[in-house]
């Protein structure tokens, strides 16, 4: 699985970054969403992150005031995403209920 569609833009003084991560199934995308959603940004201001799932694609959208804050948030997210993907690969495909 490889992330695709990373895109950075600026809008009204804000830096925007979006990332689409395709998964083999919608169930795996939902697992990733629920595993990564509890992680709130440690700073109260200056950045926001929104995660959504459409089909089997996890989409993440950031909005930040500063490039440094955005970089730290994206790097942290990618570290967590890597751990989630490795864990799913270790335990095999999810069982549908």
- Measure the CA–CA gap between 91 and 68, rounded to whole angstroms: 35
> In the chain, how many domains are there?
1
In a domain, 31, yes or no: yes
- Give the range of the structural domain holding residue 61, as residue numbers without chain letter: 4-91
In a domain, 51, yes or no: yes
If we measure between CA atoms, which residue out of 71, 58, 48 comes closest to residue 19? 58
Asked if 97 and 30 count as a contact pair (C-beta separation under 8 A), the reply is no
- What rounded mean pLDDT belongs to the chain? 86
The four Cα atoms 9, 11, 16, 21 give a dihedral, to 10 degrees, of -70
pLDDT at 11 over 70: no
In a domain, 97, yes or no: no
DSSP conformation class of 94: P
pLDDT of residue 92: 80
**How confident is the model over 53-73, as pLDDT tens digits?**
999 999 999 999 999 999 999
pLDDT at 30 over 80: yes
Mean pLDDT across the stretch 44-59?
92
Asked if 36 and 80 count as a contact pair (C-beta separation under 8 A), the reply is yes
């Amino acid at each position: 699985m490889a992330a695709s569609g990373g895109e950075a833009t600026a809008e009204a003084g804000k830096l925007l970054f979006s990332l689409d991560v395709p998964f083999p199934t919608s169930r795996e995308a939902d697992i990733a969403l629920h595993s990564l959603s509890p992680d709130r940004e440690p700073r109260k201001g200056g950045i926001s992150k929104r995660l959504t799932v459409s089909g089997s694609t996890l989409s993440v959208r950031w909005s930040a005031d500063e490039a440094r804050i955005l970089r730290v948030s994206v790097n942290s997210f990618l570290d967590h995403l890597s751990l989630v993907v490795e864990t799913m690969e270790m335990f095999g495909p999810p069982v549908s209920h």
